[in-house]
Amino acid sequence: MLGGTERLLWLLLLSLLLPPPSAWGQGGQARPREGTEEAGSAGAWLAFQGLRERLRAAGALSRHYWARFSCRVWPQDCGEDEEASARSPGWSLALLGQQYLDILSTWSCSFWDCCDRGDCRIINNFTGLEADLRVRLHGQHLARELVLTAVRGYLEMPRPDKALALSFHGWSGTGKNFVARMLAENLYQDGLRSNCVKMFISTLHFPHLKNVDLYEEELTDQIRKMQERCRQTLFILDEAEKLHPGLLEALRPHLERQAPSNHRAESKRTIFLFLSGFGHSRLVKEKLIDLFIPFLPLEFRHVRLCARDAFLSQDLLYTEEALDEIARMMVYIPKEEQLFSSQGCKSISQRISYVLPEG
């Protein structure tokens, strides 16, 4: 028996998927002339017959949609018969029906832990990502456009044949980690805490050269397990320029193009973000990195915007003088012109306490 919540979802799904009454047919039968008693009774009978047939067909259709929906949201409770119905090659959802199914799955999974695969909380909020890049990322017009275009284009591909590999380059404090966090927050409801997101920091996770062989095994094993658990994964490799060549080589099979799989199987999608760039890696020589994204040096005006955002994030009032004072605390280069902040916006939030009134 369906629970109250499940019945509500079933009715909502059915109401979304059924066509409007204006689209209901009359079975192709001849219609009596208008304005006669015969027309009235016959018309009522035909309408009743059409409605009954339509409801019978709708019942079969809605049961199929419910099977698809329940197997997606609660796969651990999906029986063999339901799964066969949900995956039957004789059924193919119209685009609109598939969109409704995606919307309902995402909505329901915002309230419950839907499945044990860890991928039910994928949201792919491109509108939110675009807004965050536009409003919160300062001085990086190139990165803003390139990241949004590359990620959205990849995730909207029907069947990608390789992982998306992006390399972020630029000075410290210019926003590389910031953008990586934005991606996690807008692609997954749980952000960096998602079971489908993993960040590696080379000096933290792979500190000892003598253990490179062990690190290679652990790295490939973690990638494989995450890809088995999630249909969409995000791997962030910070301080990528410090990764041992053996670790980069271990990543190569995951970045190469894959042979087309069964067209009915669900395509896996994987994004690799390499922060701080590479040296002369084979990954670069073999053109396995899809895009190199530059993060530009930040000027005084950009640092002021970072200071403003830091005040707002802590619900603190600020003055224009306070923003100027914090921005002037940074070191600018070249020494004569003082055009660019040598550390970007790094440590800005910690400097707020210097300009707050005492008490």
Kindly report, residue by residue over 3-26, the tens digit of the pLDDT.
Answer: 555 555 555 554 544 444 444 444
Task: Tell me the C-alpha distance between 163 and 194, whole Å.
Answer: 19
Task: Tell me the C-alpha distance between 64 and 212, whole Å.
Answer: 51
Q: pLDDT value at position 41? A: 57
Fold of 126-257+267-296: Rossmann fold (3.40.50)
Rounded percentage of the chain residues whose pLDDT exceeds 90: 59
Q: What is the mean pLDDT of residues 236-244?
A: 95
Least confident of 183-197, 278-292, 314-328, 335-349: 278-292
pLDDT digits (tens, 9 = 90+) for 175-222: 999 999 999 999 999 999 999 999 999 999 999 999 999 999 999 999
Task: Tell me the C-alpha distance between 258 and 121, whole Å.
Answer: 26
Q: pLDDT value at position 17? A: 47
Which one is predicted more confidently, 204 or 44?
Answer: 204
Binning pLDDT at 50, 70 and 90, where does residue 52 land? low
Task: Tell me the C-alpha distance between 226 and 224, whole Å.
Answer: 6
Binning pLDDT at 50, 70 and 90, where does residue 83 land? very low
Residue pair 256/288 in contact by the 8 Å Cβ criterion: yes
Binning pLDDT at 50, 70 and 90, where does residue 262 land? low
Q: pLDDT value at position 277? A: 80
Task: Tell me the C-alpha distance between 355 and 299, whole Å.
Answer: 21
Q: How is residue 188 annotated by DSSP? A: B
Task: Tell me the C-alpha distance between 304 and 202, whole Å.
Answer: 31
Task: Tell me the C-alpha distance between 275 and 170, whole Å.
Answer: 9
pLDDT at 142 over 90: yes
Q: Which of 1, 48, 58 lies closest to 27, judged by CA?
A: 48
- SS3 call for 89: coil
The H or E element spanning position 331 is: none
Q: pLDDT value at position 90? A: 39
Q: pLDDT value at position 280? A: 73
- What's the pTM? 0.69
- φ and ψ of 271, to 5 deg: -120, 130
Q: What is the mean pLDDT of residues 120-139?
A: 95
Helix (DSSP H) and strand (DSSP E) numbers for the chain: 14, 7
Which one is predicted more confidently, 328 or 356?
Answer: 328
Task: Tell me the C-alpha distance between 43 and 96, whole Å.
Answer: 32
Task: Tell me the C-alpha distance between 73 and 44, whole Å.
Answer: 41
